[in-house]
Chains A and B, each alone.
Chain A
Amino acid sequence: MVPVIETESLSRFFGPIRAVDGLTFQVYEGEVFGLLGPNGAGKTTTVRLLNGVLRPSGGQARVLGLDPAREGGRLRQQTGVLTETLSLYERLTARENLALFGALYGIPEMELARRVARMLEEFGLADRADGRVGEFSKGMKQRLALARALLHEPPLLFLDEPTAGLDPEAARQVTEMIGQLSRREGRTVFLCTHNLTEAQRLCDRVAVMDRGRLLALGTLEELSRTFWPGLPVEIGLGAPLTDAAVGALRRLPGVRDVQHEDLWLTVSVTDENMVPAVVETLVREGARILHVVPRQPSLEEIYFAIRGDQAS
């Protein structure tokens, strides 16, 4: 795996505020890497540092083999950034916005008009190409900003809260576009978000950050193993369970926890090899089992487990 981003104790302080505090991580070519955290966690500052828009107070970074602090211009030629505030020129048209940034990214003039038209078409904005951006809906602006970030075909894409403020339909559209960029076009995507459902759908690996510091990093499975010990198994019942059956389950070696509510039972076991023993015990105790579903914890559950772990 080829790392496209490598940081070593990367830090940025604003006076007494430690916006980014000793970040060390790698992002590999072609993956969708999610940076999760609440507002003020330091996600946007990290993106700025990785693009050479801010200089670090300490530590270092290599992005696409370049030092952002010293080779920012060359680096930004190869990165596309969707900023959280979109930063579109609302008094200009969609076409003018794209043409402006295309020129700044050095797309040859001969090719620029064709490339702009193609992006407008791809992002479903062709019929409003010459309309003022100020009159666009939030979803259209988001798509235009995404088109702008991709106009110069960068291999590395930074997306800062790409679905913030969008209605569910527009958010889904944008999420699908991001998925396509990674799967179909092989681009590396660095996704900053606090939308955990979106991150779970899109990300190969995630890092959780808070108050400038990295709390956890890994795939969903890795984080699950570390921060969510045990596999929850959900069991649907045809009749209420007896106390004796619950007691028998609790005594079973490898069972960490049992939650029982009406006709639902959640048994937390060490791993999925324990599932037959759980079923066997319930049958022996006369339980009527309708279905058994071993469930991976969601990213949201893991995220709060990480935050809770840090707080304690």
Chain B
Amino acid sequence: MNGRTLRTLAVKDLKEVQQNRAAWIPALVVPLIFMVVLPLGIILAPNLMQSMSPLMAPSGPVGMMRERIPALAAELAGLDERQAWVVLMTGYFFAPFILIFPLMFSTIVASESFAGERERKTIEALLYTPASDGELFLGKMLAAFVPAVALTWVSFLVYGVVVNGAGWPVMGRVWFPPVSWWPLMLWVAPAVAALGVAATVLISTRARTFMEAYQMSASLVVLVLALVAGQITGVLYLSPPVALAVGLVLWLIDGVLIRLGVRTFRREALLISGRG
């Protein structure tokens, strides 16, 4: 593998995506909603309510979560109703949602990289370069993986500022992120990004247009939604050990997909599957 070739391919893809508004505007709007608008609404919502008791009662959502997940109950111990609400909603419910971002960012760039190139008929000149099939595959992967992880971490940072800032009157201290977020951000999110990229690049070699590839790979979001559902229903609490295990499984799947991609990816597939 030639490092310069990989870097050149990756930088080129990033420049192309940067120029494609249709690709990156959703990548800014969705995090803005999830990382700024929704947490602000959740933190400020109790100001509009006369009493939080229905939420916090043993039969209410917060009470039920406390009962189902003892570890969570320990985290919420000693907090008043409003503090428990902020910690539960922004520190617990939202945790798996952020995993949508590495998936979304990576699938956008990766869809653009092969299917988008074929759609714009730019892929052929690239196939005539000395870059090997493996280098083309990995270069495209790198172009999607690095910004996906970087943007996820930036979103995490913005979320931290919003939650701590808006929550300051209630919490009186910088409390976010709780310890359970670190393995999610440093271990699981990159694994999700790699999964999105590897699957999308494999899909992109078969799809004809950017949108077709993006829509096919977007179905991966089901995995993240399963984590969200697990967390909300209390079936799967993403505590650090669980997050480490989930991440490990994802990395193993990534390894298999990347290996499969490097071994089976053939430049002629991009020409043949594009034949109309």
Q: CA separation between A261 and B15, bound complex, in Å?
A: 65
Q: Is the CB of A106 within 8 A of B275?
A: no
Q: Contacts A91-B16, A100-B8, A104-B8; is A148 near B125 (CB within 8 Å)?
A: yes
Contact status of A48 and B8, CB under 8 A, knowing A53-B128, A87-B122: no
Asked whether A100 lies within 8 Å of B130 as measured between CB atoms, the reply is: no
Q: Is A89 an interface residue when CB atoms closer than 8 A count as contact? A: yes
How near does chain B come to A270, taking the closest CB pair, in angstroms? 47
Tell me which residues across on chain B come within 8 A of A92, comparing CB atoms: 12, 15-16, 19
Asked whether any CB of chain A lies closer than 8 Å to the CB of B47, the reply is no
In the complex the two chains form, is B271's CB within 8 Å of A104's CB? no
How long is the Cα–Cα vector from A104 to B132 in the complex, in angstroms? Answer: 10
Q: Which residues of A82-114 have CB atoms within 8 Å of chain B's CB atoms?
A: 83, 85-92, 96, 100-101, 103-106, 109
Binary per-residue interface labels of chain B (127-163) against chain A in the complex, 1 for a CB within 8 Å, 0 otherwise:
1111110000000000000000000000000000000
Complex Cα gap A48–B269 (Å): 13
Q: Chain B interface: which of A73-81, A163-171, A215-223, A302-310?
A: A73-81
Q: In angstroms, how far is the closest chain A Cβ from the Cβ of B35? A: 28
A89 — nearest CB in chain B belongs to which residue? B122
Partner of A83 from B12, B125, B130, B272 at Cβ < 8 Å: B125
Q: How far is the CB of B139 from chain A (nearest CB, A)?
A: 9
Closest to B268 in A: A54
Q: What is the CA–CA distance of A101 and B11 in the complex, to the nearest angstrom?
A: 12
Known: A104-B129, A105-B129. A53 touches B267 (CB 8 A): yes
Interface contact A85-B271, CB-CB below 8 Å: no
Contacts of A103 in B (CB 8 A): 4-5, 8
Known contacts A100-B8, A103-B4, A104-B9, A88 near B129 by CB under 8 Å: no
Across the interface, name the chain B residue whose C-beta is closest to A75: B130
Instruction: Report Cα–Cα, A77/B129, bound state, in Å.
Output: 7
Whether a CB of chain B sits under 8 angstroms from the CB of A55 is yes
Residue of B nearest to A53 (CB): B127
Total of A-B residue pairs, C-beta within 8 Å: 77
- Write the chain B residue with the least CB distance to A17: B275
How many B residues touch A, CB cutoff 8 Å? 28
From A74, A87, A88, A96, B130 is in contact (CB under 8 Å) with A74
Q: When chains A and B are docked, how far (Å) is the Cα of A51 from the Cα of B131?
A: 13
A53 touching B16 in the complex, CB below 8 Å, given contacts A87-B121, A101-B125, A104-B130: no
CA gap between A91 and B124 in the complex, in Å = 16
Q: Does B244 contact A (CB under 8 A)?
A: no
Contact status A90-B130, CB under 8 Å: no
Separation in Å of the A13 CB from the closest CB of chain B?
A: 11
B130 in contact with A105 (CB, 8 Å): yes
Task: Report how far A76 CA is from B125 CA in the complex, Å.
Answer: 11
CA distance A148 to B121 in the complex (A): 16
Chain A's nearest CB lies how many Å from the CB of B159?
31
Which residues of A have CB within 8 Å of B8?
100, 103-104
Q: Is B120 an interface residue when CB atoms closer than 8 A count as contact?
A: yes
What residues of chain B lie closer than 8 Å to A88, measured between beta carbons?
122, 125
Give the CA-CA distance A89 to B268 in the complex, in Å: 20
Choose one: A55, A74, A87; the contact of B125 (CB below 8 Å).
A87
* Per-position 1/0 for B1-23, Cβ under 8 A of A: 01011001100100110011000
Q: Is B123 an interface residue (CB 8 A)?
A: yes
Chain B residue contacts of A83, Cβ below 8 A: 124-125, 128
Chain A proximity of B136: nearest CB distance (Å): 10
Q: Are A96 and B15 in contact (CB under 8 A)?
A: yes
Flag if B15 contacts A104 (CB, 8 Å): no
A residues 16-55 touching B (CB-CB < 8 Å): 48, 51, 53-55
Distance from A64 Cβ to chain B, minimum over Cβ atoms (Å): 13
User: Does any Cβ of A come within 8 Å of B71's Cβ?
Assistant: no
Task: Tell me, rounded to whole Å, the shortest Cβ–Cβ distance linking B91 to chain A.
Answer: 41
CB distance from B119 to the nearest CB of A (A): 12
Shortest distance from the beta carbon of A80 to any chain B beta carbon, whole Å = 8
> In the complex, what's the smallest C-beta–C-beta distance from A221 to chain B, in angstroms?
34
Please name all residues of chain B whose beta carbon is closer than 8 Å to the beta carbon of A14 when the two chains form the complex. Answer: 272, 275
Whole-angstrom CA separation of A41 from B205 in the bound complex? 26
Partner of A100, one of B12, B20, B124, B127: B12
Q: Cβ of A91 and Cβ of B15 under 8 Å apart?
A: yes
Which of A53, A55, A74, A145 has the most CB atoms of chain B within a 10 A radius of its CB? A53
8 Å CB contact of A81 from B12, B120, B128, B132 = B128
**Nearest chain B CB to A130 CB, angstrom units:** 14
Residues in chain B near residue A89, CB distance under 8 A? 12, 16, 122
Leading 3 A-B pairs by shortest Cβ distance: A87-B125, A91-B19, A103-B8
A-B contact pairs, 30 of them (CB 8 A): A14-B272, A14-B275, A48-B268, A53-B271, A54-B268, A55-B268, A73-B132, A76-B129, A77-B130, A79-B128, A81-B128, A85-B121, A86-B121, A87-B124, A87-B126, A89-B16, A90-B120, A90-B122, A91-B15, A91-B20, A92-B15, A92-B16, A96-B15, A100-B12, A103-B5, A104-B8, A104-B131, A105-B130, A106-B4, A106-B130
Beyond A54-B271, A86-B121, A92-B19, 9 extra complex contacts between A and B, CB < 8 Å: A54-B272, A55-B268, A74-B130, A83-B128, A87-B122, A101-B125, A103-B5, A103-B8, A105-B130
